[in-house]
Structure 1
Amino acid sequence: MDRPTNRGVKALEQPEVFKQIIREVNLLNPDLVIMGGDLIYGYTSDTGLIRQEWQNFNRIVSELDAPYYLVVGNHDVWDEVSQQIYLEECGALYYSFDYRGCHFIVLDTEIPGQVNYITGEQLQWLKDDLQRHKDATHIFVFMHRPVWAYEDTPGRVWMHDIHPLLVKYGVDIVFSGHWHAYEIDYRDGIRYVITGGAGAPIGEYPEVGDFHHYLLCTVDGESVEIAVIKPGSIFDETIVKFEIASRFHGIRTQCISYPYIDLPLEAEHELTLIIDNPFTDTVAGTIRWQLEGFEGWQVAPIEQTFKLLPTTQQVFSFKVSPASLQAWYPTPIVEVLYPYAKDKQPIPIKREIRLIPSYDCERLSSPPIIDGKLEDWQAIHPIVLNKRYQVASRDSIKWIGPSDKSGKIYFGWDDTCLYLGAEVIDDIFCQPEHGVTLSRGDCIILAFDVGDDPRGVGKLDKFLTTYFFTMTEDGPTVYRRYATNQSKVCDVTEIVFTAKRVHTTEIYEAKLPWAALKLPWAALKEGFTPQPGEVIGLDIIFTDNDGKGREDWLQWTPGYMEKGELSYYGKLILR
């Protein structure tokens, strides 16, 4: 039962749909209930909030009539502190039990240092447990992350090391959560089920699994049946097959480009949209613009049809006139009706026009001195964040003007490093956080797109290198998160960084080696140096915490914090 990802500064209640499911489960009167992880919101350094959220969870599930068992999720355990709290509140991280001749195995995909892997002591325990219970009538395996479905190293390791083991001992079904959807796949006699729809935010495509649900599994002798239940209805387990969902998401992420306009805005722009058909069948569909609610914007033509032969693509052009030369988000939306399965109506795939800012990053004849003074940056033009339209918030915006929070940031480069200097105005500086939660205090966030696609069709955690620059009780602090989910406080011998606060002004300066950014064109072979004209996807955020939790932030684009999509990122162009 996956939980939502966004949180504030208070312990959060369980979603209403989860409470409704608890009531319905009692009506179904099952023998037992297993919950697939992400039982709380988590991801905070405040242990008091963590324990309060567990209290809220325990209060709700105490209403269950049936005995229940828990699977640990990434919102339940994300570091050693949260792991210890989980052990105290919930018990074992991985374990097994028997019921009426069936054997149930619960695995932990969240062990710090082993996330996405079943290895080490847990793997040996799994082998021994399977051997001891090889004569069970049925064997069911539960874990939070659907590692088997991953296309990168964890998925390959699972299919090489774990899957054959499960086949050997006749495992019937592997259940997972994490993805907020329902999908099923069949591999060598094992049913692999993804069920993450009992409370978390759900996507907009129910035809391919995006809907709230829970499962009713019925064991009758040799038979094991799964019913997929929406609140108030029951569906056959094949409602969304893995191959159909995979084709749709492949279309959504790889076959339709993002419509974008390079800023500054002009009276008219020519906008292009690329439609690709990588399949062996001909596809035909419609492109249509939705202008309702976007007064003043004009697009021509408003609608086009397409028909693409196998393995071909087509470029479509549109004339776009903005409502004004100062227009900002939200922007008009284009819908593409692209067929994804026979005998099914096309799902409109929506694309908002991206407004892409750019910054000419000058090559420096000599590197700046990282001393917290900014004299070396006076000849460089900055990116300025001080306008109302650049402010965003998870809740209501409390920003009262540039004196509350604003700033400017400079960039420069040479063969070895990217340099930055920043001046931030902030009436109250507050940074009580550490590590991954630094963004909840005052800091500068630089999010670099390290994917191969300059329009960014991938997920954030797959293509990002993110830096958090701030001041903590330990002094100037840089925290880095790589696309591989490797996160650490940077070694000062690698990243040179200084920061100070004078009255209501903060000064930041840093030197980032190109190797530290892990850019695709900077694989950093021996002797590699970047060249003028290289483009780096970038978003810049100034967060604001006035002592009561993060209130607002200023952003160069809505890509990192607001939308969570790389396709909104601006362009840092090396000159």
Structure 2
Amino acid sequence: MRRLIILLALAGVAGATAFDFVVLGDRTGTAHDSIFVRVLEEIRLLRPDFIVGTGDLIEGYTDDIGAAAAEWDRVLELLAATGVPGFYAPGNHDVWDAASESLFTARVNAPTRSLAHGNSFFIFADNSRWVSFSDWPEEQRRRFRAELGKARRYQHRFVLMHRPWWRYALEADRPDTLHEWLRAAGVGWVFTGHDHFYCSHVRDGINYSQVGPSGSRLKVHSDRGRGGFQNYLYGRVVGGRVSLTVVEPGRLYAPDVVTLGTVEALSRARDAGVQVDPFPLGPGQGRESRLRLALTDVAGEGQGGQMTWRTEGTHWHIQPDALSFLIEPDGRGEFDIIARLGDLDRPWPPPMLELPWRHSGGRVTEIEIPLPVKRRARAGAFDGPPGDTCWQAVLPLEHLAGNSLEPGAVEPAEIRVGFDSLNLYLSIRCHDTRPDLIRAEVTGRDEPVYGDDHVNIVFDPDPAATRAWAAQVAATGDSGLPSPPYYQLFVNPRGTIADRRCRFFGRRGERDWSWDGNWTVAADTTDPDGWSVTLACPLTEFGDVHPEEWGINAVRYQSRRRATGTWQPPFRHDPRTFGTLKR
């Protein structure tokens, strides 16, 4: 709080030649309004000249435009209570179709617009509905470049848009036309959101910031070292100088507290530097397993210190629970541990490995890595379409973990999978103690059901091909090799389906919405304890496959809790991370 008082003192001395502004990140998806309200209370105390935002203020994704308008009523009332005017770029939760775009324009501001203030010019661009710059329609590009032209008369030029295309281009090592436009126009600052973690990067004199979350859930990264904390930005312009401060409610940081380079270095550490054999969990597996822990200095700076397993509040025991280590630059060390799970029905939260990691020219960050758990399940083997008696004999995918690997984030769900010689079958039951608050609004095929209660399942019908692909990627170092196809299904309580065929490569891959499985769906809307759906799909829809072994993962989203539960956490669009399903 002392640091916030210092910031308030700085804000209070602004005069005619200076102004202050705040940059808000995502409130949604999955808003936590206790955090958002605290952020807004700090803004009220800071008294900036205005707020700018990178989008995702409402949950959206609904066919009921009246419900979306009611969401805007509430959010705009919260923002108005700060007494500070606001200007916002739209996020994908704010604008997802033509009707929501019209609503955003009427209630907030034009999706693409600009703001001149003193010697500074702010451009708000709409990239809410387009995954990459290559998808951006020509009309959007024309409007944006027209705003860039207006900015040339101003000393300081800022751009806000929702999706961090700048980061995606850097991570994929591909040409970035948008960056070239920004550089040529003399833009100095770019603020984006969407992925719910903070990082900064400077390129060709442009200061990029990925802001947030400012009340939404942590999504891509949940660890602080990689920007997984609630935040917003406080900016100040005094003549020819612009300063930015990263504000976590009650705490202040410099803009480089987390850089894109830090995120990449710590991601390499977690992916390749610290490797722990996964604990096998599922039918036929025991409570105890001997695992290998390997440390490889992928940073090339030498590693050393003490690693500790934190098990309090879990049902796990690790021996030894602490080890000293010293790894030469580019070296490697291996250690054996014994992991024991006291209650097989309570794997969450897992134990957490803590250790210091040197990177980025001597910088040391304490990293936390959960014990990996590889879940296994059994599918039902049927002679034809299954009835209730057949389903009762199938063990479900259950015991889901929240975003922080905590139990009980959502109410219980049971997801059962089975096969006969022709079809894949699914039986989904999601318990809910308030069935009157279950949200099921979307009715159109492949329309966004993400705001509804729903279950999301990914299937890898050929794990052997996936293992061969993974070995090729590891051997060649070519992360651009596309994975074999896997398939994703979303279904809400009405039985509304959205599905797609996916491939993973680089860091994102591709998702093909033109693929439509031939699903047969039956939804039970009379279940007094929640909602239930059964589905069937011909195996031929998934190619030439055999159901002896599939990769699988499943996620339940419970809208009234604004929470997710994952069977094989964390959920990633990478078939190497899926659990195993066997007949």
TM range (shorter): 0.7 to 0.9
Residues 457 and 490, structure 2, Cα contact 8 Å, conserved in 1 = yes
Shift of 1:5: 4.4
Shift of 1:335: 0.8
Alignment partner, residue 25 of structure 2: 2
- What is the letter of the counterpart of residue 368 of structure 2? I
Q: What's the secondary structure of 1:496's corresponding residue?
A: coil
1:420 aligns with 2:420: no
Structure-2 change in CA distance of 1:550 and 1:303 (3 Å) = closer
Alignment partner, residue 523 of structure 1: none
Structure-2 change in CA distance of 1:470 and 1:31 (3 Å) = closer
Q: What's the secondary structure of 2:174's corresponding residue?
A: helix
TM-score (norm 2): 0.72
Residues 373 and 507, structure 1, Cα contact 8 Å, conserved in 2 = no
Residues 410 and 421, structure 1, Cα contact 8 Å, conserved in 2 = yes
Alignment partner, residue 189 of structure 1: 205
Note the 1:71-150 alignment, pairs <5 A: 71-111=89-129, 118-150=136-168
Q: Which runs of 5+ in 1 are unaligned?
A: 400-404, 517-528
Alignment partner, residue 173 of structure 1: 189
Structure-2 change in CA distance of 1:335 and 1:133 (3 Å) = closer
- Summarize deviations over 1:539-575 as a string: whole Å, max 9, x none: 256x799xx97999998x35378x99988742135x8
Structure-2 change in CA distance of 1:464 and 1:92 (3 Å) = farther
Shift of 1:354: 1.2
Shift of 1:107: 0.8
Residues 73 and 110, structure 1, Cα contact 8 Å, conserved in 2 = yes
Aligned partner (choices 385, 389, 412) of residue 373 of structure 1: 385
Residues 183 and 240, structure 1, Cα contact 8 Å, conserved in 2 = yes
Alignment partner, residue 417 of structure 2: 409
Residues 440 and 453, structure 2, Cα contact 8 Å, conserved in 1 = yes
Structure-2 change in CA distance of 1:514 and 1:280 (3 Å) = farther
Cα distance in 1 for partners of 2:52, 2:136 equals 20
Cα distance in 1 for partners of 2:365, 2:206 equals 31
Alignment partner, residue 509 of structure 1: 536
Note the 1:15-30 alignment, pairs <5 A: 15-30=33-48
1:466 aligns with 2:466: no
- What is the letter of the counterpart of residue 298 of structure 2? P
- Summarize deviations over 1:465-519 as a string: whole Å, max 9, x none: 311367958xx8563364657464854xxx3333457998976421244767xxx
Shift of 1:89: 1.6
Structure-2 change in CA distance of 1:314 and 1:90 (3 Å) = same
Q: What's the secondary structure of 2:294's corresponding residue?
A: strand
Cα distance in 2 for partners of 1:544, 1:125 equals 37
Alignment partner, residue 270 of structure 1: 290
Alignment partner, residue 284 of structure 1: 304
- What is the letter of the counterpart of residue 317 of structure 1? D
Cα distance in 1 for partners of 2:60, 2:408 equals 17
Structure-2 change in CA distance of 1:212 and 1:293 (3 Å) = closer
Structure-2 change in CA distance of 1:238 and 1:550 (3 Å) = closer
Cα distance in 2 for partners of 1:106, 1:142 equals 5
1:257 aligns with 2:296: no
Cα distance in 2 for partners of 1:184, 1:444 equals 32
- What is the letter of the counterpart of residue 510 of structure 1? C
Alignment partner, residue 539 of structure 1: 553
> Which stretch shows the higher mean deviation, 140-149 or 272-281?
272-281
Q: What's the secondary structure of 1:279's corresponding residue?
A: coil
TM-score (norm 1): 0.73
1:322 aligns with 2:374: no
Alignment partner, residue 571 of structure 1: 580
Q: What's the secondary structure of 1:244's corresponding residue?
A: helix
Alignment partner, residue 16 of structure 2: none
Shift of 1:329: 1.7
Q: Which runs of 5+ in 2 are unaligned?
A: 1-23, 472-478, 504-508
- What is the letter of the counterpart of residue 385 of structure 2? K
Aligned partner (choices 145, 164, 180) of residue 164 of structure 1: 180
Residues 147 and 155, structure 1, Cα contact 8 Å, conserved in 2 = no
Alignment partner, residue 526 of structure 1: none
Cα distance in 2 for partners of 1:225, 1:171 equals 15
Aligned-pair Cα RMSD in Å? 4.7
Shift of 1:337: 0.6
Aligned partner (choices 344, 358, 368) of residue 349 of structure 1: 368
Cα distance in 1 for partners of 2:561, 2:228 equals 30
> Which stretch shows the higher mean deviation, 200-209 or 76-85?
200-209
Q: What's the secondary structure of 2:140's corresponding residue?
A: helix
Alignment partner, residue 448 of structure 2: 436
Structure-2 change in CA distance of 1:231 and 1:136 (3 Å) = same
Shift of 1:54: 0.6
Note the 1:15-54 alignment, pairs <5 A: 15-54=33-72
Q: How many residues align?
A: 518
Aligned partner (choices 395, 417, 432) of residue 384 of structure 1: 395
